[in-house]
Structure 1
Amino acid sequence: MKIGELARKSGIAASAIRFYEEQGLLAPISRTPSGYRQYASNAPDRLKLIQGAKRLGFSLEVIRDMLDENGKCSVEKTMRQSAILLREIEQQQATLEQRRQSLLILRANLVDYQPDHPCRDKLAVN
């Protein structure tokens, strides 16, 4: 199928498809004599897989590493990369929880705020 048909079937813009091709995530199986790209019948599925992985937070480099030539995911690589991403998310959650706790302390400190006292004492939270 040509790029226009692939774009219609997948719901992904032709420019994005060309970008994924440039990034090594999707390759046309051939070109017509007039230079049009021809994509395999499984290309829409591969694009859905790429889009889904992006939504989960995987970088294009990681997605490229997880995919093999026939468009399937390597279970081993995907498990390894998902574990890395989960650790990153857990670290972000811990950081956000620390910030949340500091903001709650700040708000509690400001309840008794007196306009004639410097605010800096109230902003000193860990």
Structure 2
Amino acid sequence: MKIGELARKSGIAASAIRFYEEQGLLAPISRTASGYREYASNAPDRLKLIQGAKKLGFSLEVIRSMLDENGKCSFEKTMEQSAILLREIEAQQEALERRRQSLLILRATLLDYPNQEPCRHSVSIN
């Protein structure tokens, strides 16, 4: 299938498909005599997989490492990368909770001293 048909079937712009090709995530199986890209029948599925992985927060580099030539994910690599991403998310959640607690402390401190300048009270983020 040509890039226009692939774009219609996948709902992904031709420019994005070309970008994924440049990034090594999707390759045409051939070119026509006039130079048009021809993609495999599994290309829409591969694009959906790429888009889904991006929505989960995987970088294009990580997605590339998880895919094989047939557009399938390696179980081992996907488990490994998902564990890494989960640890990153958990660290971000912990940092956000520390910020939240610091803001709550700041608000409580301000309520104790309503007539003073709020910026006089510094609250550290642990």
State percent identity of aligned pairs.
Answer: 81
Do structure 1's residue 58 and structure 2's residue 72 form an aligned pair? no
CA shift digits 1:55-82 (9 cap, x unpaired): 0000000000000001100000000000
- 3-state DSSP class of the match of 1:123? coil
The separation in 2 between residues aligned to 1:48 and 1:114, in whole angstroms, is 54
Kindly indicate whether the alpha-carbon contact (under 8 Å) linking 1:30 and 1:39 is maintained by their aligned counterparts in 2: yes
| Ranges in structure 2 where 5+ consecutive residues have no aligned partner | none
2:93 is matched with 93
Name 2:83's counterpart in structure 1: 83
SS in 1 for 2:107: helix
Separation in structure 2 between the aligned mates of residue 31 and residue 37 of structure 1, nearest angstrom: 5
Any gaps of 5 or more consecutive residues in structure 1? Answer: none
**2:123 maps to which residue?**
124
1:108 corresponds to? 108
Provide the residue aligned with 2:21 in structure 1. Answer: 21
Structure 1 Cα separation of the partners of residues 123 and 59 of structure 2? 38
**Corresponding residue of 1:37:** 37
TM-score, normalisation: structure 1: 0.94
**1:17-48 per-position Cα deviation (integer Å, ceiling 9, x unaligned):** 00000000000000000000000000000000
Q: Structure 2-normalised TM-score?
A: 0.94
Distance 2:57 2:114 in 1: 46
Deviation at 1:119, TM superposition (A): 3.5
Deviations 1:64-106 (A, max 9, x none): 0000001100000000000000000000000000000000000
Q: Does 2:49 match 1:49?
A: yes
Answering whether residue 4 of structure 2 is matched by residue 4 of structure 1, we say: yes
